Amino acid sequence: MAPPTSQKRRIPPTDDFEHSDVSDDDFEVGLLDGALSQNEDEDEDDEEYELDSSGEGSEEEDENEDEDEDEESNSDSESNDPPKVTAKLSELAITKPDKFESSRKIVLDSAGNQRYIYPEIDPVYDSDDTDAEETNTIGNIPLDFYDEYPHVGYDINGKKIMRPAKGQALDALLESIEVPRGWTGLTDRNTGTGLKLTDEELEMVRKIQMDENIEGYDPYQPTVEYFTSITELMPLSAAPEPKRRFIPSKHEAKRIMKIVAAIREGRIVPSKPKEAAKPQFYDIWADELPPRPDHIMNIPAPRLPPPTHDESYNPPKEYLPTDQERTNWEELDPEERKKDYLPRTHSALRLVPGYDTFVKERFERCLDLYLAPRVRRNKLNIDPESLLPKLPSPQDLRPFPTTTATVYRGHVGRVRTLSCDPSGVWLATGGDDGTVRVWEILTGREVWKLQAGEGGEAVHAVKWRPGRDAAILAVATGDDVHLVIPPIFDPETEAASKAILAAGWGYAEIVKKDPLKKEPPAKWTKPEPHQQELGTAVIVSVKHTIKHITWHRRGDYFATVSPEGQNRAVAIHQLSKHASQSPFRKARGIVQRVEFHPFRPHLFVATQRYIRIYDLAKQELAKTLLPGSRWISSFDIHPGGDNLLVGAYDKRLLWHDLDLSTKPYKTMRYHSKAVRGVKYHPGGLPLFCSASDDGSIQVFHGKVYSDLMENALIVPLKVLRGHRVEKSLGVLDVEWHGRECWLFSAGADGTARMWN
């Protein structure tokens, strides 16, 4: 690389003299050069030559000498002295590579000449710094760090690179106004001056931006075929061409012969021959097997039904729809229509139009065939009447009550209860008005009346004592049971009755003396004199309202039910001793009714859901019946003792066979309202009845066979309607006559009726 001095020298002499202050020597030399040389380039060459020669061998020196001679010939001012020349050369050698001066050592050799010893060069990468440009070494830091310094950085040798002289403020202004050519607005990091682009560079930038070819680049250079462009004069291999290149292949001939043979033999054909067209149809059932029975899962599609008269193009006139039917049909959705066409009539065949939904109907049939689920349905082809159960005709089951025979009118308000006396002549009724009335059954005449309930208390139950020896009527009103002897019987019976009732007083006296005994569940008292006059003989009071009374068949005991009484709901009273006892220690549900078994020492207690049967002799629970109803209203025991009839407030009537199961044998739900009373006929007729709030009494034939294997036969016989429904109450109680098929009913409409 040329040293700075030589660079300076390149400045042409025509330049201003302002540069002269850089170095006087150079100036003089320059002046000299400019005066001496005709060609600047030549001069340059010379100098370069001089530089090169400095490190080269001796022959170049010779050339130098020649040149020098030329110079000398050109100018006479220089001396021709050879030692001078050498001296000059050496001088040059010394002076020129300034940069080496610091690193080399100068020693004197044995001859006393100067000898330069250079430091050893470590031949690593980058060790050659000959092409190192003059760069600023500060690295990638902002230049304004150096703003307050006179220099802008350091060169490779650690020397300061001085900030170039800046123009005046005016120049800066001018520069900012008039953008000079090539101005980029950037600062050259290396020099600190503004970075300017030359015209060529600008042009190149423009071309790159415009996607044009840069000058000097030829996009259509002729291709140079790398291999074929060079023709080798000599072959690469000297091997001779093999023979196989010149003779036909045997292997190929063999293969071709094979193919030819195959073609000749017909193994290979130009295209696959069409299979000889078999007849499309043949006798597919030629070897048909005997028909097999149909599989149960095979359900053939049903055939479409054949057309009926109304599909005719000319149907009888009566098949044509009326206007009403037509509008009805048109208003219906197509899916809901019974038939997909309306009958039409045409007077001649030529007037029949095409059927516009023909394709659609066929399509729907197709859909039905493959999409509709098929199921085998047994079509019942029976007379619906045959479904009706064969019942014996009611005519054959006579007698049974069918009509109202007598109406007993007199009660004010509901008639709650009634009872038919053992002799079958008198009927006692009790009602909401608190009276007990005794009627002559056949005539309907009221023969006796007693205001039993004091202060308008209703009479909830009346019951005649069984047995014909006496005539005692138990009347339940409020918490009391009045044992009454109605003064309508003959004196002997009356006396006997009084004797039965009075017998217990003495016994009660004895018992009372025993202080250890607990308080009895009931108190037996003598009624007031005025009550005695009216017929009341004894009053038994318990602590809760009595709703039901039932007598033991012998007439010595009777039981009362007061549902609110908890564990004392049921009380059993003994006439002969004037004693009462409460058989249950603890309450098990609200007791509805109790009954004595017709001949066994059993007590049936009905709570809301269950009926419990207690064995009084063994004093244990014998059985629990589950009628399955929500709320039992009443029940009755068949005189045979093995069947039980239960009526419930949820409209059900249940027949229990005690031998069969604890569940009902038959459940009958045909009352539209709650069932209030059920009763078997006590006198041997196979009848029973149920009374309901819908105002009807239903009478059934209920035959119990003595054969244990045969179930009871139940035949509905008659629905008796006559009682009015008042405040959603209909018939409140029913009772059969002791022998005849007479039925008594007490209604909420204030009447009692006899049916026969």
Task: Answer yes or no whether residue 262 interacts with another protein by CB under 8 A.
Answer: no
* Shorter beta-carbon distance to another protein: residue 272 or 586: 272
**Could you tell me how far CA 685 lies from the centroid of its own chain?**
63
- From candidates 230, 371, 510, 516, binder to another protein by CB under 8 A: 371
Spatial CA neighbour of 735 closest among 447, 441, 535: 441
If you ran DSSP here, which 8-state letter would residue 335 be given? T
Other beta carbons within 10 angstroms of residue 273's beta carbon come to 8
CA distances from 266 to 256, 270, 276 (A): 15, 10, 17
Task: Tell me the window of 380-388, 445-453, 460-468, 688-696 that interacts with another protein (CB under 8 A).
Answer: 380-388
* Backbone dihedral angles phi then psi of residue 663, each to the nearest 5 degrees: -95, 160
Q: Which helix (H) or strand (E) holds 74?
A: helix 58-74
Q: How many residues belong to the chain?
A: 756
Which one of the spans 125-133, 287-295, 515-523, 585-593 is the region binding another protein (CB under 8 A)?
A: 287-295
Q: Build a one-symbol-per-residue string for 448-487: x at contacts with another protein by CB under 8 A, - elsewhere.
A: ----------------------------------------
Among 266, 270, 334, 389, indicate the residue that binds another protein (CB under 8 A). Answer: 389
Candidate ranges 93-101, 148-156, 284-292, 607-615; the one touching another protein (CB under 8 A): 284-292
| Residues contacting another protein: total by CB under 8 A | 77
Of 235 and 373, CB closest to another protein? 373
If the CB atoms of residues 433 and 694 are measured against another protein, the closer one turns out to be 694
Q: How far is CA 84 from CA 68, 78, 495, in A?
A: 12, 10, 196
Q: Smallest distance from the beta carbon of 671 to another protein, in angstroms?
A: 10
- Which one, 315 or 628, has the nearer CB to another protein? 315
Residues 704-743 that bind another protein (CB under 8 A): 714-717, 719
How do 160-162 and 459-464 pair as beta strands? unpaired
**Lookup: tokens for 464:** 């005649």
Say how far apart CA 177 and CA 161 lie, in whole Å: 29
Positions in 207-246 near another protein (CB under 8 A): none
628 lies in the binding site for another protein (CB under 8 A): no
- Least separation in angstroms between residue 708's CB and another protein is 23
- Per CB under 8 A, which region of 199-207, 374-382, 574-582, 723-731 contacts another protein? 374-382
Is 391 one of the binding residues for another protein (CB under 8 A)? yes
CA distances from 752 to 306, 407, 616 (A): 65, 6, 36
Angle, nearest 10°, between helix axes 58-74 and 40-55?
150
If the CB atoms of residues 147 and 385 are measured against another protein, the closer one turns out to be: 385
Report the residue number, 563 or 695, with the smaller CB distance to another protein.
695
Interface with another protein in residues 306-365 (CB under 8 A): 306-309, 311-319, 322, 341, 343-344, 347-350, 352-363, 365
Q: What's the min distance (Å) between Cβ of 695 and another protein? A: 14
What is the closest distance, in whole angstroms, from the C-beta atom of residue 298 to another protein in the complex?
A: 9
Minimal distance, residue 443 CB to another protein, in Å: 20
Q: Using the rule CB under 8 A, which residue among 215, 283, 396, 492 binds another protein? A: 283
For 290-293, the CB contacts below 8 A with 24+ separation are none
Contacts of 343 (CB under 8 A, 6+ apart): 310, 311, 312, 315, 319, 320, 321
Q: Is 407 in the site for another protein (CB under 8 A)?
A: no
Which is closer to another protein, CB of 261 or CB of 352? Answer: 352
Query: Do residues 564 and 591 lie in contact, with contact meaning Cβ atoms separated by under 8 Å?
Result: no
Rounded to whole angstroms, how far apart are CA atoms 733 and 677?
5
201-209, 370-378, 487-495, 590-598 -> range binding another protein (CB under 8 A): 370-378
Structure tokens of 486? Answer: 């109605």
Angstrom distances, CA of residue 580 to CA of 262, 518, 528, 570, 599: 127, 11, 21, 10, 22
Question: Quick one: 243 or 278, whose CB is closer to another protein?
Answer: 278
| Candidate list 230, 244, 370, 455; residue touching another protein; CB under 8 A | 370
Element (H, E) at 510: helix 491-513
To the nearest whole angstrom, how small is the minimum distance from the Cβ of residue 400 to another protein?
Answer: 12
**Spatial separation of the C-alpha atoms in residues 450 and 429, rounded to whole Å:** 11
Shortest Å, Cβ 407 to another protein: 14
Q: How far is CA 518 from CA 349, 587, 604, in A?
A: 108, 19, 26
The Cα 636–Cα 656 span in angstroms is 10
**Closest approach of another protein to the CB of residue 305, in Å:** 8
CB of 461 to another protein, least distance (A): 31
In the region spanning residues 140 to 199, those forming contacts with another protein, defined by CB under 8 A, are none
Binders of another protein among 631-690, rule CB under 8 A?
668, 670
CB of residue 720 to another protein, shortest distance in Å: 12
HSE of 660, CA atoms in CB hemisphere, 13 A: 15
Of 520, 575, 584, nearest in space to 549 by CA? 575
In the complex with another protein, the residue whose CB is nearer, 367 or 499, is 367
Q: Is 596 exposed, middle or buried (0-12, 13-18, 19+ CB in 10 A)?
A: buried
Given the complex with another protein, which of 216 and 302 has the nearer CB atom? 302
State which residue, 313 or 631, has the beta carbon closest to another protein: 313
Name which of 18 and 318 has its Cβ closer to another protein: 318
Cβ of residue 693: shortest distance to another protein, in angstroms? 18
CB closer to another protein, 434 vs 730: 730
- Indicate the residue among 12 and 290 with the shorter CB distance to another protein: 290
